[in-house]
Amino acid sequence: MPKSWTENRIQNLIENEIEESLTVEYKSAEALGKSDYQKKEITKDVSALANSAGGFLIYGIREFSDPKKRHLPEKVVPVDRTNFPREWLEQVINSIRPRIDGIIIHSVQLSSGENDVVYIVEVPQSNTAHQANNRRYYKRFNFQSVPMEDYEIRDVIFREQMPDVETKFLIELKDTEQNLIVHAKNYGSAYARYVACFVDVPIETLVNIENKRSIKDGGRYYRHRLTNLNQEYADETFKANFPLLRSMTMSWKIPLKDIFNELKESKWIIKWKSYADNALPKRGKISFDEIEIIDLRKKRRNL
């Protein structure tokens, strides 16, 4: 989702039929109102985003009423900013407890009228649980804001006490070698004492197969077990666990065959799963043609 909002971008959401999701919700202008019920709904929807993965709440776009097109944007139904100024919406949102830090309300002027706007409420994922103004906790689930279970509330409250390690991949090109670089970065408030990342890479792309017991999926993949043991840092190598502090990145190098053009044009997939202390494991997959390339060769050839 763009952070620089314009009327054209709003129209693109409709023309491209961008569906609602865990992180995007559309609300017609009629959703804004000054009754206690409508204010409760605003705080419910905003707090649900913060308690989940964060996202965007867009006031001024109506969904289709046709069940076959449910959750798809139909058209712009503008908010009248003289009736509902941005400061009023901000005041309603600030009734959420505790207050959510980092919320941004974007106001997009529309060509349909001087006072016609669309409000985009940008909500960050929070490190604690937030109550709507009816003193209940909500989360995003199946395009809706629904009440949270007790264990879910506690899990969100303890977010700040757990690491949040994200995995990213790069392809590094050098004159004499080509490597897959695996980065693990901790975005959480707590440091990770133990980090482990299991990366399954297609065997056809690898230079070395060191342990036949790590061959998986009928011989198609080789599993690399990467941990924060023996991490190189500057001129030193840590022989024991080196914790992944907040905003710190650890990297591992996996040698690849010199078949860059094949990698770029292939549909080979890398699969990964990462662990960090007591945080829930994360997993994902990415194709080679989606991975960013860092070219460090002295004499660059045509790619």
- Residue 61: name the closest of 5, 101, 145, 100 by CA: 5
Tokens of 168: 């990213």
Q: Give residue 239's pLDDT.
A: 47
The pTM of the whole model exceeds 0.75: no
Mean pLDDT of the chain: 89
Give residue limits of the domains in the chain: 7-159, 162-295
Query: Is the predicted pLDDT of residue 125 greater than 60, yes or no?
Result: yes
- Write the single-letter amino acid at 148: M
Q: What is the CATH number of domain 7-159?
A: 3.30.950
- Report the topology of domain 162-295: Immunoglobulin-like (2.60.40)
pLDDT at 67: 85
pLDDT of res. 126: 87
Note whether 205 and 186 are within 8 A (CB).
no
**How much is the average pLDDT of 165-185?**
92
Q: Provide, rounded to the nearest whole percent, the portion of the chain with pLDDT above 70.
A: 93
pLDDT of residue 201: 96
Does residue 164 carry a pLDDT above 80? yes
Q: Are 78 and 109 in contact, with CB atoms under 8 Å apart? A: no
260-279 pLDDT per residue, tens: 777 777 788 999 999 998 88
Place of tokens 């650890």: 250
